Amino acid sequence: MRRFVADKTRNLVRRASTCSPTCPVSPRPHHPPSLLSQPTSPPFSSSSPSHPSSITSPLRFLTAAALHPLSFPASPNSMASNYSTTPVTLQSVNPKVLKCEYAVRGEIVTLAQKLEQDLKQNPDSHPFDEIIYCNIGNPQSLGQQPITFFREVLALCDHPAILDRSETQGLFSADAIERAFQILDQIPGRATGAYSHSQGIKGLRETIAAGIAERDGFPADPNDIFLTDGASPAVHMMMQLLIRSEKDGILCPIPQYPLYSASIALHGGTLVPYYLDEATGWGLEISELKKQLETAKSNGVCVRALVVINPGNPTGQVLAEDNQCEIVEFCKNEGLVLLADEVYQENIYVPDKQFHSFKKVSRSMGYGEKNISLVSFQSVSKGYYGECGKRGGYMEVTGFSPEIREQIYKVASVNLCSNISGQILASLVMNPPKVGDESYESYTGEKDGILSSLAKRAKTLEDALNSLEGVTCNRAEGAMYLFPRIDLPHKAIKAAEAAKTAPDAFYARRLLDATGVVVVPGSGFGQVPGTWHFRCTILPQEDKIPAIVSRLTEFHKKFMDEFRD
Amino acid sequence: MRRFVADKTRNLVRRASTCSPTCPVSPRPHHPPSLLSQPTSPPFSSSSPSHPSSITSPLRFLTAAALHPLSFPASPNSMASNYSTTPVTLQSVNPKVLKCEYAVRGEIVTLAQKLEQDLKQNPDSHPFDEIIYCNIGNPQSLGQQPITFFREVLALCDHPAILDRSETQGLFSADAIERAFQILDQIPGRATGAYSHSQGIKGLRETIAAGIAERDGFPADPNDIFLTDGASPAVHMMMQLLIRSEKDGILCPIPQYPLYSASIALHGGTLVPYYLDEATGWGLEISELKKQLETAKSNGVCVRALVVINPGNPTGQVLAEDNQCEIVEFCKNEGLVLLADEVYQENIYVPDKQFHSFKKVSRSMGYGEKNISLVSFQSVSKGYYGECGKRGGYMEVTGFSPEIREQIYKVASVNLCSNISGQILASLVMNPPKVGDESYESYTGEKDGILSSLAKRAKTLEDALNSLEGVTCNRAEGAMYLFPRIDLPHKAIKAAEAAKTAPDAFYARRLLDATGVVVVPGSGFGQVPGTWHFRCTILPQEDKIPAIVSRLTEFHKKFMDEFRD
């Protein structure tokens, strides 16, 4: 049935330009297709090791999932046919929306939510007592506690009336109170409930710029900072700026974080894949970038930008500095905007690797504002703080002319500003307590505790995965994920085909049904054809890890016994 | 110079499809243009009273403004020529971005910020001692205080660690503490720092749905609620869903809130204008809707939706219930989605008018989920709370098939969720303290004080404006704005033409230079050709109003004396 729906959807994507009967038909111009939509067309069919089928699994299977009744948020029993008189249909909806997919909250998660409901109604309804969400980098949903100092400051800025009250001294640390005063002084009229400047509150941007300068050893300009509701809107803003049609391409890593494929699809562009080399710990080869760029060009695609995710998501590698120099050189020579996803810059777990921002690397190479167009994305959702729900973040925009900066500013101004709590939090993570501050010890204790525990969890899960038959897993040098490769038996692949699902989605579904552990199939991120993976976060609390390991090990053994050729 | 830049920009918009030298050229298909881009083409040239010139003033003059050095957020002295080697240029940027304009933060505001800097450096640099921003509905930036109860709850949810502390009893009201506990219990793991469900926290959506049901007397479904970072992202989401190409049109009021023209431009659609009748207090005539719909259809535009702003922005009228019934009937018969901007639902200032949601009106008419596609937008930025900086809001989506709802959910999920503080605040404004709660008296005192003061300010400013030579101003029945019409002398219009600016922009600029009062020219909202207006908020605190009135009166008299024919 799902295959049927998937096929139906692909047809709809092609037919979607027809309008309602009362309206004229507007035929869609034929353009090179976006990677995740019409895979068999150039530029990708000719680009080895790229073979469309693997990249398109998200559409083939997750679109099917998207139409699966279970994934419908509203009353699941309502039938589409009852809506025959309503004006918007799958035939008349924007086809770019149909094309867009986001696996991190795809079919498996919807099924998990369903199982969670079952457990609430009947704790014995499944062979596990809880669902463990390893599908998304959402630390506090799995019990990670927020950094006390940050929350103290946020609370005081939300209710400044208590700042002068004596009880407040007993409830909040002195430096939190002082910081709240400082921040309020930076906000015109101390109005934390007012729209700010479209780029964010100037004083907070100055704090962030100072933090960047301290991190990199190179100056940063507050006017280059655009504060956003998390990193996602910033990525959308840049895609909106760059993508004019399906003839515009964005180079993205495969595997990639599906925000990029989704955003490119929504803005009607073409995702140009470059493959990370799993054999060398998800290495980024310039030769691969060049090859894919040439293939895209030869297929009439105008490549506008290169997306680099460092530390990697879902792959967890941390780029070496000399590799970053090559990437900067490549972008400069090829006239590409470098879109640097650096939201995991605080998440480094191995002593032999270190985070270097692309801004620092380019400046170290002697390239300045006029030489390289570089956008760095940062978020309060990741790092050791993991404040996903606060939707804070920023992009640092360098190397764009005044006219283009003006256009970015204009787009930002249409939505007025990002939320002020998120803006404040972004300034706090870039300027945490310093030695001598009252909160310094508790702050460093909380921070180091979280980061060292994440490193431990990463290693434990990595070792456990590598001990499984047919599973190989690169180490998580950084970020929050492991992306193990599963050498699935031929029988399992056949069974998946029979079930009209991707082999890795089949495995993930079986894993969920047996253990309650939620992971995302590799097909949601893209992978080399014929290889199968899943993404698993390292975020469950330490006391849960042994259970996860034993459940996973037991499940995998049974799975392999069932399908071993 | 500005005219030159404006012309240059218009040409760029047309030429913008050319790619960088290394890339192939992708010619843009010829489509009916969006209203604010290529005015002289159908469907609008033929639609009286629509005449392109007035509607296009935003592009003609504000695009010029957008390229004005003053409006460049980053180092104003840097020259574009220095960026000759960077890849993104006005020729290669997405032309939809070039087309988009947002007058509320346009040229006049940029100039005001410049004057504010002057005053900081030298208090005597201008004939006034402060800039008064009447350009934007941003109450707390002008001294409006937040509702205490709301801020208490937000602070406690930001830092739940203090909930059990004894000092907290002395600092916070008992019902705020209780409400914080209730809300935390609705959040999985009490994690206010975790991503929520893509539509928002289920428990908060239940609270909001209950509030809607209480308001309307008709049931509301939590699954119909999508919590968003203010109303703007919700509007973008619906435009993204509906607009496939420039052949898709959205009926918008003229005058309109420029979020709609900007969003339609960014999504590449066509704004189909319908004119509000100033003579009947900005009345909405069904005959005008029909005429504009037919004109658009005859020009090959597929009209997908009707935008209604009630209470009106910038026009301040409150629709009568029978008028709303006609509008619902029109949308149902014509197969249009009704996009109801109801963010000012709490802002009613006249005893003879009352707010009725379009949901209530359609249900009262007997139209249910399957009969009418209706989206209602609400925001925490307006009302008596005016919490613009919190970026909270929601849309209630009814009358869409499960498949389409699934697509909306998918788009929402790409950005994961809206900020949790904004979500909490949205639940608070839809469920404020009740009789018997400890905060009830202070809450009603603060609320009534703000609303009655706004009504007073509206009346005072309305009377003052109507007392000016050649100025007529409809009353602000609701919302936060007055939109007076200025009958400008011929000489003033000539002077504006000589200054290469719109006559109302010329007036607003003169007003700013003379008084420090910032208003938005009517050309930023659209107006009947040959008429000139400006939008002025009613938000300055009461003690400032007399000064504003006298400054405005004195300026206007001098202006008329200078230009009287």
Q: What per-residue confidence (pLDDT) applies to B18?
A: 37
Q: What pLDDT sits at residue B103?
A: 74
Q: What residues of chain B lie within 8 A of the CB of A202, using their CB?
A: none
Q: Which residues of B317-348 are buried (b: 16+ CB within 10 A; e: fewer)?
A: bbbeeebbbebbebbbebbbbbbbbbbbbbbb
Task: Test A419 with B85 for CB contact under 8 angstroms.
Answer: no
Q: Which residue of A has its CA nearest to B235?
A: A415
Give the CA angle between residues B59, A374, A242 to the nearest 5°: 40
Asked if A189's CB is within 8 angstroms of B414's CB, the reply is no
Which residues in chain A touch residue B146, judged by CB atoms under 8 angstroms apart? 193
B403, two tokens: 């498949």
Q: Which of B66, B236, B402 sits opposite A410 (nearest CB)?
A: B66
Mean pLDDT of A549-555: 96
Q: Tell me the pLDDT band of A17, cut-offs 50, 70 and 90.
A: very low
CB contact under 8 A, B263 and A194: no
- Count the helix, strand and coil residues of chain A and give each as a percent rounded to the nearest 5: 50, 10, 40
Q: Which of B507, B516, B554, B555 is nearest to B535 (CA)?
A: B507
Tell me how close the Cα of A200 comes to any Cα of chain B, in angstroms.
Answer: 10
Length of chain B: 565
pLDDT tens for each residue of B419-448: 999 999 999 999 999 999 999 999 999 999
For B302, nearest residue in chain A (alpha carbons):
A23
Whether the Cβ atoms of residue A336 and residue A305 lie closer than 8 Å to each other: yes
Find out whether A254 and A527 touch, Cβ atoms under 8 Å: yes
What region, left, alpha or beta, does residue A399 occupy, with left being phi > 0 and alpha being psi -120 to 50 degrees?
A: left
- Contacts of B199-204 with C-beta under 8 Å, sequence gap 24+, read B199/A73, B199/B223, B199/B225, B199/B226, B199/B227, B199/B409, B199/B412, B200/B225, B200/B226, B200/B227, B200/B394, B200/B417, B200/B418, B200/B423, B200/B426, B201/B227, B201/B420, B201/B423, B204/B423, B204/B424, B204/B426, B204/B427
Give me the residue from A141, A171, A300 closest to B189, CB to CB: A141
Interface contact flag, A141 B413, Cβ < 8 Å: no
Cβ distance A338 to A308 under 8 Å?
yes
Of B244, B337, B406, the CB nearest to A87: B337
- Establish, for the pair of chains A and B, how many residue pairs have beta carbons separated by less than 8 Å: 410
Angle between helices B259-266 and A402-414 (to 10 degrees): 120
Cβ-nearest to B67 among A240, A406, A422: A406
Question: Is B416 close to A232, i.e. CB distance below 8 A?
Answer: yes
Q: Which chain B residue is nearest to residue A85, measuring alpha carbons?
A: B371
Interface test with A, best of B5, B9, B91, B93 (most A CBs within 10 A): B93
Contact B87 A370 (CB under 8 A): no
Q: For residues A356 and A374, give the distance between their C-alpha atoms in angstroms, rounded to a whole number.
A: 14
| B98 contacts A388? CB cut-off 8 A | no
Q: What pLDDT was estimated at residue B42?
A: 32
- In chain B, the residue whose alpha carbon lies closest to the alpha carbon of A18 is B244
Least Cα separation, residue A167 to chain B (angstroms)? 6
Instruction: Please state, in angstroms and rounded to a whole number, the distance separating the CA atoms of residues A173 and A434.
Output: 14
Q: Is B386 left (phi over 0), alpha (psi -120 to 50) or beta?
A: left
Q: Which helix or strand (DSSP H or E) is residue A409 part of?
A: helix A402-414
Q: Which residues of B touch A411 (CB under 8 A)?
A: 97, 100, 266
Spatial distance between the Cα atoms of B171 and B157, rounded to a whole number of angstroms: 14
Q: Which residues are CB-contacts of A328 (< 8 A; sequence separation ≥ 6)?
A: A338, A358, A361, A362, A365, A367, A372
- The whole-number average pLDDT for the span A325-352 is 97
**CB-CB under 8 Å, A78 with B402:** yes
Report the Cα B517 to chain-centroid distance in Å: 20
Q: pLDDT class for A54, splitting at 50, 70, 90?
A: very low
**Contact residues on chain B for A24, CB-CB shorter than 8 A:** 247, 300, 302
A404 contact residues in B (CB cutoff 8 A): 86, 88-90, 93
Instruction: State how far the Cα of A56 lies from the Cα of A78, in Å rounded to an integer.
Output: 30
Question: In this structure, what is the dihedral angle of CA atoms B532, B14, A262, B307, given to the nearest 10 degrees?
Answer: 30
Distances (CA, A) of B181 to A241, A289, B177, B196, B200: 43, 53, 6, 18, 18
| Cα nearest neighbour of B374 on chain A | A86
Q: Look at A195 and B138 and tell me if their CB atoms are within 8 Å.
A: yes
**How buried is A441 (Cβ within 10 angstroms: 0-12 exposed, 13-18 middle, 19+ buried)?**
exposed
Mapped onto helix, strand or coil, the DSSP state of residue A273 is strand
CB contacts of B22 in chain A (<8 Å) are 297, 334-335
- For residue A90, the distance in angstroms to the closest alpha carbon of chain B comes to 7
Q: Round to whole Å and give the CA distance between B359 and B218.
A: 8
* Interval A508-547: pLDDT, tens: 999 999 999 999 999 999 999 999 999 999 999 999 999 9
Q: Which residue of B has its CA nearest to A387?
A: B193
- In single-letter form, the type of residue at position A1 comes to M
The reply to whether residue A22 touches residue B196, judged by beta carbons under 8 angstroms, is no
Burial of A119 (0-12, 13-18, 19+ CB in 10 A): middle
At A431, give phi and psi (nearest 5°).
-150, 65
Q: Which of B101, B483, B476 is closest to B260 using CA atoms?
A: B101
Q: Answer whether B171 sits within 8 Å of A170, measured CB to CB.
A: no
DSSP 3-state of A124: coil
B253: left (phi over 0), alpha (psi -120 to 50) or beta: beta
Dihedral sign for Cα A51, A56, A57, A58, please.
Answer: positive
Q: What is the pLDDT along chain B (565 residues), one digit of tens a residue?
A: 333 333 444 444 444 333 544 443 333 344 433 333 333 333 333 333 333 333 333 332 222 233 233 333 334 344 445 888 899 999 999 999 999 988 777 788 889 999 999 999 999 999 999 999 999 999 999 999 999 999 999 999 999 999 999 999 999 999 999 999 999 999 988 999 999 999 999 999 999 999 999 999 999 999 999 999 999 999 999 999 999 999 999 999 999 999 999 999 999 999 999 999 999 999 999 999 999 999 999 999 999 999 999 999 999 999 999 999 999 999 999 999 999 999 999 999 999 999 999 999 999 999 999 999 999 999 999 999 999 999 999 999 999 999 999 999 999 998 899 999 999 999 999 999 999 999 999 999 999 999 999 999 999 999 999 999 999 999 999 999 999 999 999 999 999 999 999 999 999 999 999 999 999 999 999 999 999 999 999 999 999 999 999 999 999 999 999 998 8
pLDDT confidence of residue A31: 42
Q: What is the C-alpha radius of gyration for chain B, rounded to an integer number of angstroms?
A: 24
CB < 8 Å to A244, chain B: 16-17, 26, 28, 92, 94-96
Provide, as residue numbers in chain A, all residues whose Cβ is less than 8 Å from the Cβ of B374.
none
pLDDT at A71: 33
CB atoms A391 and B419 under 8 Å: yes
Among the partner-chain residues A76, A403, A414, the one whose CB lies closest to the CB of B67 is: A403
pLDDT band at A63 (very low <50, low <70, confident <90, very high): very low
How many Å separate Cα A332 from the centre of its chain?
25
Contacts of B170 in chain A (CB under 8 A): 165, 167
Closest residue in B to A197 (Cα) is B105
Tell which of B18, B387, B416 to mutate to test the A interface (max A CBs under 10 Å).
Answer: B416
pLDDT (tens digit per residue) in B140-178: 999 999 999 999 999 999 999 999 999 999 999 999 999
In chain B, which residues have their Cβ closer than 8 Å to the Cβ of A240? 94, 96-97, 266
Q: How confident is the model at residue A81 (pLDDT cuts 50, 70, 90)?
A: low
Specify the residue for token string 């504002």: A369
pLDDT recorded at residue B202: 95
**Substitution target from A28, A86, A370 for chain B, most B beta carbons within 10 A:** A86
Which whole-number Å values give the CA distances from A527 to A136, A339, A481, in the listed order?
18, 21, 16
* Contact between A232 and A260 (Cβ < 8 Å): no
Whether a cis peptide bond, with omega within 30° of 0, leads into B273 is: no
Optimal mutation site among A89, A93, A107, interface B, most CBs of chain B within 10 A: A93
Contact between B158 and A154 using a beta-carbon 8 Å cutoff: yes
Give the model's pLDDT for residue B243. 97
- Tokens of residue B249, six digits: 């049109």
Instruction: Give the model confidence (pLDDT) of A366-382 as tens digits.
Output: 999 999 999 999 999 99
In sequence order, what E strands does B255-347 have?
270-275, 302-309, 337-341
Residue type, B339: L
Q: Do B401 and A86 lie within an 8 Å CB cutoff?
A: yes
Distance CA B38, CA B60 (A): 10
- Of the candidates A86, A90, A410, the beta carbon closest to that of B100 is on A410
Closest-CA residue of B relative to A258 is: B414
Indicate the residue of B102, B335, B414 with minimum beta-carbon distance to A413: B102
Question: Percent of chain A scored above 90 by pLDDT?
Answer: 82
Mutation for testing the A interface, residue in B15, B94, B390, B421 having most A CBs under 10 Å: B94
Q: How far is B270 from chain A (nearest CA, A)?
A: 14
Minimal CA separation from B249 to chain A, in Å: 11
- pTM over cut 0.80: yes
Which of A74, A105, A402 faces B405 most closely, judged by CB atoms? A74
- Closest-CA residue to B314 (of B261, B248, B244): B261
